[in-house]
Chains A and B, each alone.
Chain A
Amino acid sequence: NAGVMQNPRHLVRRRGQEARLRCSPMKGHSHVYWYRQLPEEGLKFMVYLQKENIIDESGMPKERFSAEFPKEGPSILRIQQVVRGDSAAYFCASSPRQGLGEKLFFGSGTQLSVL
């Protein structure tokens, strides 16, 4: 059973371009979480999605950021018109169910660098 797959592993964008980060959850997992980690800082929650639904986006910046988890295919975190401050590691995690006793499985992350 493959783990959480994120791609690309590294992504370089120039200011003003768009960044699309993909996350394929573990097989059988329908819950996806996105986190951002700035250099030398902890992980910050961004958004929680179930298939075709955004459940909690309280950690998402109000502008330029969006996320989706379609019925088919990976979850996508999209950043429009990137700025240097978006440079960070973005981690995706998945779980099979929602519940207090459930654990999250994390991917290896996408390192976004904005030039």
Chain B
Amino acid sequence: DAKTTQPTSMDCAEGRAANLPCNHSTISGNEYVYWYRQIHSQGPQYIIHGLKNNETNEMASLIITEDRKSSTLILPHATLRDTAVYYCIVRPATSGTYKYIFGTGTRLKVLA
């Protein structure tokens, strides 16, 4: 089972920041938080990942709370092309195989 919970869907106005929350209250100290997105029926696309510190790259920012029980993905200026399903993933360290377990994700719709 996925170790994360996300809202089912969200809307965001074009040009505004999209803030996608994720709860991962059972995360272990050495487990990373990953974000991927899937546009329509394409393969999942890597966005960003982090362990403790906030991270930023050309696509997004990742804010992780101090207790690491939740995080927020921020798309600073959402465009129509950012409409996708966004998956927050914590890779379980106990399995030994480090497989990604996808939940149901958040369906983000960017509105013109």
Contacts and interface: CB of A to CB of B under 8 A. Distances in A.
Contact of B44 (A55, A91, A111): A91
Interface in A74-107: 89, 91, 93, 98-107
A interface, size bucket? 20 to 34
Contacts of B49: 101, 103
A104 B100 contact: yes
B99 A56 contact: yes
A56 B95 CA distance: 9
B103 A48 contact: no
B59 interface: no
A-B pairs, top 8 by smallest CB distance, nearest first, are: A106-B43, A56-B97, A43-B102, A42-B102, A106-B44, A108-B43, A45-B99, A48-B97
A105 B46 contact: yes
Interface string A38-55: 000011110010000001
B93 A100 contact: yes
22 contacts: A33-B100, A42-B87, A42-B102, A56-B95, A56-B97, A93-B43, A93-B44, A98-B97, A99-B98, A100-B91, A100-B93, A100-B98, A101-B49, A101-B51, A103-B46, A104-B44, A104-B46, A104-B100, A105-B46, A106-B36, A107-B43, A111-B41
Nearest to A6: B43
Nearest to A101: B32
B99 A33 contact: yes
Pick from A43, A89, A91, A105 the residue with the most CB of B within 10 Å.
A43
A106 B39 CA distance: 13
Contacts of B95: 56
